[in-house]
Amino acid sequence: MKEIIMSLLTVFGVLIAATTIAAGLIWLERRLLGLWQDRYGPNRVGPFGLLQVLADMIKIFSKEDWIPPFADKPVFIIAPAVIMFTVLMTFAVIPFTRAVHVVDMNIGLLFFLGMSSLGVYSVTLAGWASDSKYSLLGGLRAAAQMLSYEVYMGLSLMGVVMLSGSFNLREIVEAQKGLWFCIPQFLGFAVFLIAGVAETHRLPFDLPEAESELVAGFHSEYSGMKFGMFFVGEYLGITLISAMIATLFFGGWLGPVLPPIIWFLIKMFVFICFFILLRAALPRPRYDQLMSYGWKVLFPLSLLNLVVTGGILLAR
């Protein structure tokens, strides 16, 4: 009975923490963008603009939850929930410390890759169900972009699996006690980081929702809470990819002096801030350049990393 209660507390704790961080990132991103672009961020609603998140949520809840008459209504309604479900499910396999995790799966890394693949359905179905040419183009872009970059993302992680000898995320962290994998697997880390930006379709790879071309892409026809779910889902995706980078390449909870959970959060927030910095600093490429860059640069690099890692391990 005690174990069941502890498991339930962990599940609810992870859910509440993940959604709270995602909501807080709405404020953090605006503050950091203001700092890096030498302008004011939110500073009117509450101290340091901290109540801006609450103001945004009130605005979203008070907006009319409109469904276009020409849309495929059941699919249109389900699509925003898919991205929330897949991202939150993936948090279940992340080991925040040696003891704090929802489930300790032997195939945790494969579960992460599988759930990220299912996330493609959300944006694709949203673009198709809206029956709008801008939404459809955004959905098609998202499908091609996410499916392509998943290939490099998966290949970039095979070096980590070879060095640790496991798909279990807790065992991967513990294998980094002597040396973080970001050093021997720097090439894999770089490919995974770039693929992670593309997977979450964040700037500079936000082509599925490029405002200058597609109005708002796959969520052009969404309003109210459905739009809010896409919005929060994007920040959950950033949090998830940052947590995976910390786990796979930077030793997860490992670190001196401070409690393990603090080390994990510090590493995760460093990469969250890096995601925001990309938005502040980089321009958006053309869509054909994005796809060419993936298949002509990242794909060969991920294969090279795999071959070199395998060769070194065999030589040993």
Per domain, the residue ranges of the chain are: 68-315
Burial (CB count <10 Å: 0-12, 13-18, 19+), residue 65 = middle
In this prediction, residue 8 carries a pLDDT of: 80
In this prediction, residue 136 carries a pLDDT of: 83
In this prediction, residue 212 carries a pLDDT of: 67
Contact 222, 55 (CB under 8 A): no
Contact 237, 200 (CB under 8 A): yes
Cα–Cα distance, 127 to 278 (Å, whole number)? 26
In this prediction, residue 305 carries a pLDDT of: 92
Cα–Cα distance, 302 to 39 (Å, whole number)? 39
Cα–Cα distance, 132 to 140 (Å, whole number)? 12
Rounded to 10 deg, the angle between the 133-156 and 186-199 helix axes is 160
In this prediction, residue 122 carries a pLDDT of: 83
Contact 313, 165 (CB under 8 A): no
| DSSP reduced 3-state for 98 | coil
At 180, list the tokens: 């973080």
pTM of the predicted model as reported, rounded to 2 decimal places: 0.91
Residues in the chain, pLDDT under 50: none
In this prediction, residue 9 carries a pLDDT of: 83
